[in-house]
């Protein structure tokens, strides 16, 4: 398969490109810079927000699949770019479909849902309460409307809480590592009681790759573990496993009122993909 990956130089994108290459795919990796991308990929340093005239689908090599992972400020949930960039994302996607694209996969997020308690599946109503969630939710709805009459498969890959390769991220895990390097002994923390669906970025890359390398399971696909773990347990385990000396200062920050006490993804669809592709099952 020939797969175009946008946002290929990003925190998740770099891992996905490597997995796809290891699976034997022909990968076209696109980002503003591709300096950290696996050099086996065909790299394109390109700004998707400044597209030339002509057939964009052909410009990017007429791929079998476009995996659109490009997105700015994913860790800054109320950045104005989540709304400002929407027309540019949609322009790229619609022009790819107009040019002949038949399978589109887009990175989604559980933040599309907003406040929710329990399992999230493809029918869970979306009431986002951050600019990030609003932007992703709007893009999903627009992609669905546009892809259907153009006979283009849409796979919306909804991700949850990601860890691993933490120095490359701007998550709490990356911030803890930075605080440790700065010689701090305490890290300000909430109560840590909220439970989330954490997944290692390498495992996530496997799930994303397996999803786009098939066409039978489509629509919203939760790329997650389906196993909620408390934030405190996950962070304490992170500190212990890495032998860090820093300690959590519980209660320094209040719990955010819009965070669910327990939220996780329903894994029915991703499990059906994995069971059909026995080669895809890995343990992390």
Which residues are CB-neighbours of 156 under 8 A, at least 6 positions away?
A: 105, 106, 108, 140, 143, 144, 219, 220, 221
> What is the three-class DSSP state of 265?
strand
H-only helix segments in 80-130: 81-84, 86-99
Sign of CA dihedral 232, 122, 131, 73: positive
Q: Of these residues, 11, 115, 132, 284, which one is catalytic?
A: 132
284 is catalytic: no
Parallel/antiparallel/unpaired status of strands 195-196 and 229-230: antiparallel
Give the span between the Cα atoms of 230 and 218, in whole angstroms. Answer: 30
- Supply the residues annotated as catalytic: 132
């Amino acid at each position: 398969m020939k797969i175009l990956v946008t946002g290929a130089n990003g925190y998740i994108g770099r891992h996905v490109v490597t997995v796809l290459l290891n699976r034997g795919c022909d990968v076209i990796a696109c980002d503003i810079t591709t300096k950290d991308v696996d050099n086996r990929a065909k790299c394109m340093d390109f700004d998707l927000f400044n597209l030339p005239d002509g057939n964009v689908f052909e410009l990017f090599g007429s791929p079998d699949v476009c995996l659109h992972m490009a997105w700015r400020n994913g860790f800054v949930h109320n950045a104005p770019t989540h709304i400002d960039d929407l027309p540019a994302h949609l322009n790229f996607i619609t022009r790819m479909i107009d040019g002949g694209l038949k399978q589109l996969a887009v990175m989604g997020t559980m933040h599309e849902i907003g406040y929710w308690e329990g399992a999230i599946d493809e029918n869970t109503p979306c009431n986002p309460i951050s600019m990030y969630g609003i932007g992703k939710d709007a893009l999903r709805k627009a992609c669905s409307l546009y892809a259907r009459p153009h006979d283009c498969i849409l796979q919306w890959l909804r991700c949850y809480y990601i860890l691993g390769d933490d120095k490359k991220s701007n998550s709490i895990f990356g911030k803890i590592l930075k605080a440790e390097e700065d010689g701090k002994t305490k890290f300000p923390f909430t109560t840590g009681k909220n439970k989330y669906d954490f997944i290692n970025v390498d495992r996530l890359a496997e799930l994303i790759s397996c999803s786009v390398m098939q066409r039978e399971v489509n629509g919203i696909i939760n790329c997650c573990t389906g196993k909620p773990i408390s934030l405190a347990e996950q962070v304490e385990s992170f500190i212990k496993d890495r032998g860090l000396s820093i300690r959590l200062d519980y209660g320094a920050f209040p719990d955010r009122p819009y965070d669910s006490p327990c939220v996780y993804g329903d894994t029915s669809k991703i499990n059906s993909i994995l069971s059909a592709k026995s080669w895809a099952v890995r343990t992390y």
